[in-house]
Amino acid sequence: MRRASSLPLPAQSSGELKAWATIKSLLPYVWQWRGRVALAMVCLIFAKVANVGVPIIFKHVVDALDLSHKEALIVVPAALLLAYGALRFATSAFTELREILFARVTQQAVRSITLEVFQHLHALSLRFHLERQTGGLTRDIERGTRSIGSLISYAIYSILPILVEISLVLGVLVNNYDISFALITVATLLVYITFTVKVTNWRTHLRRQANELDSAANSRAIDSLINYETVKYFNNEAYETRRYDDQLRAWMNAQIRNQYSLSGLNIGQALIIACGVTAMMWNAASGVAAGKMTLGDIVLVNAFLIQLYIPLNFLGVLYREIRQALTDIERMFTLLRTEREVQDAPDAVELPAGPAGLRFDNVSFAYDPRRPVLEHINFDIQPGHTVAVVGHSGAGKSTLSRLLFRFYDVSDGAIQLGGTDLRKIRQASLRKAIGIVPQDTVLFNDSILYNIQYGRPEASHDEVIAAARAAQLHDFILDLPDGYETKVGERGLKLSGGEKQRVAIARALLKNPPILVFDEATSALDSKTEKAIQAQLEAAAKGRTALIIAHRLSTVMNADEIIVLESGQVIERGSHSTLLAKNGAYAQMWTLQQQEESMLA
The pLDDT assigned to 449 comes to 93
Whether 1 maps to a domain, the answer reads no
| 489: number of Cβ within 10 Å | 12
Which among 507, 533, 549 is the end of a domain?
507
Asked which of 189-193, 302-306, 393-397, 457-461 is least confident by mean pLDDT, the reply is 302-306
Domain CATH number, residue 33: 1.20.1560.10
Distance, in Å, from the CA atom of 164 to the CA atom of 211, rounded to the nearest integer, reads 34
Domain match, 224 and 307 both? yes
Q: How far apart are CA 525 and CA 500, in angstroms?
A: 10
The amino acid present at 566, given as its one-letter code, is: E
First-residue to last-residue Cα distance in the chain: 64
Read off the pLDDT band of 478 (50, 70, 90): very high
Task: Looking at the structure, tell me whether residues 106 and 204 fall in a common domain.
Answer: yes
Q: Is 353 a member of any domain?
A: no
Whether residue 298 is contained in a domain is answered as: yes
What pLDDT score does 7 carry?
40
In angstroms, rounded to a whole number, what is the distance separating the alpha carbons of residues 158 and 161? 5
CATH at 573: 3.40.50.300
**What confidence tens digit (pLDDT) does each residue in 497-512 have?**
778 888 888 888 898 8
Residue type at position 128: F
Assess whether pLDDT exceeds 60 at residue 15. no
484 with 448: CB under 8 angstroms? yes
**Predicted pLDDT of residue 22:** 67
Q: Is the pLDDT of residue 463 over 90?
A: yes
Query: Quick count: other Cβ atoms within 10 Å of Cβ 461?
Result: 10
Same domain? For 147 and 54 the reply is: yes
Same domain, 141 and 205: yes
Residue-by-residue DSSP string for 437-489: E-SS----SSBHHHHHHTTSTT--HHHHHHHHHHTT-HHHHHTSTTGGG-B--
Report yes or no: 521 and 347 within 8 Å, Cβ to Cβ.
no
pLDDT at res. 50? 80
The answer on 215 and 97 residing in a single domain is yes
Single out the residue in 483, 507, 531 at which a domain terminates: 507
Check if the beta carbon of residue 509 is closer than 8 Å to that of residue 541. no
Decide if 418 is inside a domain: yes
In sequence order, what are the residues at sequence separation of 6 or more whose Cβ sits closer than 8 angstroms to the Cβ of residue 43? Answer: 94, 95, 97, 98, 101
Domain count, the chain: 3
Domain check: are 410 and 267 in the same one?
no
Task: Please report, rounded to a whole number, the percentage of residues in the chain having pLDDT higher than 70.
Answer: 86
Measured N-to-C along each axis, helices 70-123 and 134-157 cross at an angle, to the nearest 10 degrees, of 150
Query: Residue 530: inside a domain, yes or no?
Result: yes
Distance CA 102, CA 341 (A): 38
**In terms of domains, do 390 and 520 share one?**
yes
| Within-domain flag for 6 | no
Q: Which long-range contacts (CB under 8 A, 24 or more apart) does 356-359 make?
A: 356/383, 356/417, 356/418, 356/433, 356/514, 356/515, 356/545, 357/381, 357/382, 357/383, 357/417, 357/418, 357/419, 357/545, 358/404, 358/415, 358/416, 358/417, 358/515, 358/545, 358/547, 359/415, 359/416, 359/417
Q: Is residue 420 part of a domain?
A: yes
Mean pLDDT of 168-195: 83
Please tell me the least confidently modeled range out of 44-53, 308-317, 363-372: 308-317
Per the CB < 8 A criterion, the answer to whether 46 and 94 are in contact is: yes
What average pLDDT does the structure give for the chain?
80
| pLDDT tens-digit map of 328-382 | 777 777 777 777 777 888 888 888 777 778 899 999 999 888 888 899 999 999 8
Checking 532-535 for CB contacts under 8 A at 24+ apart, the result is 532/472, 533/471, 533/472, 533/502, 533/505
More confident residue, 119 or 454: 454
Neighbours of 67 (CB within 10 A): 7
- What is the DSSP secondary structure assignment for residue 557, as one 8-state letter? T
pLDDT of 179 > 60? The answer is yes
Nearest to 432 by CA among 352, 502, 541: 352
pLDDT exceeds cutoff 60 at 425: yes
Confidence of residue 324 (pLDDT cuts 50, 70, 90): confident
Of the pLDDT bands very low, low, confident and very high (cuts 50, 70, 90), residue 58 is low
Residues 6+ apart with CB under 8 A from 215: 133, 135, 136, 139, 140, 331
Q: Which of 48, 35, 7 is nearest to 105 (CA)?
A: 35
d(CA 486, CA 449): 8
Give 297-322 as a DSSP string. Answer: HHHHHHHHHHHHHHHHHHHHHHHHHH
Q: Are 355 and 381 in contact (CB under 8 A)?
A: no
**CA–CA dist 60, 325 (Å, integer):** 43
Write down the pLDDT at residue 11.
Answer: 40
Say yes or no: 223 and 365 in one domain. Answer: no
Q: Is residue 537 part of a domain?
A: yes
- DSSP for 482-525, please give it: TGGG-B--GGGTTS-HHHHHHHHHHHHHHH--SEEEEESTTTTS
Domain edge (last residue) among 507, 529, 557: 507
Residue 207 — pLDDT band, cuts 50, 70, 90? confident
The pLDDT of residue 465:
93
Decide which of 453 and 219 is more confident: 453
331 compared with 36, residue with greater pLDDT: 36
| Residues 369 and 328 both lie in one domain | no
Encode pLDDT of 375-414 as tens digits. 999 999 988 889 999 988 878 888 898 899 888 888 899 9
Rounded to whole angstroms, how far apart are CA atoms 528 and 530? 5
Residues 376 and 450 in one domain: no
For residue 89, pLDDT over 80 is answered with yes
Are 468 and 521 members of one domain?
A: no
User: pLDDT class for 220, splitting at 50, 70, 90?
Assistant: confident
Q: Is the pLDDT of residue 563 over 90?
A: yes
For residue 202, is pLDDT > 50?
yes
Ramachandran class of 495: left when φ > 0, alpha when ψ lies in -120 to 50, beta otherwise: beta
In the structure, what pLDDT confidence band is assigned to residue 62 with cuts at 50, 70 and 90?
low
pLDDT at 4: 39
Q: What angle do CA 572, 578, 584 make, to 5 degrees?
A: 45
Give me the mean pLDDT over the 175-200 stretch.
83
What backbone phi and psi angles, to 5 degrees, belong to 439? Answer: -70, -40
The whole domain housing 561 covers: 358-433+513-600
Q: Are residues 487 and 527 both part of a single domain?
A: no
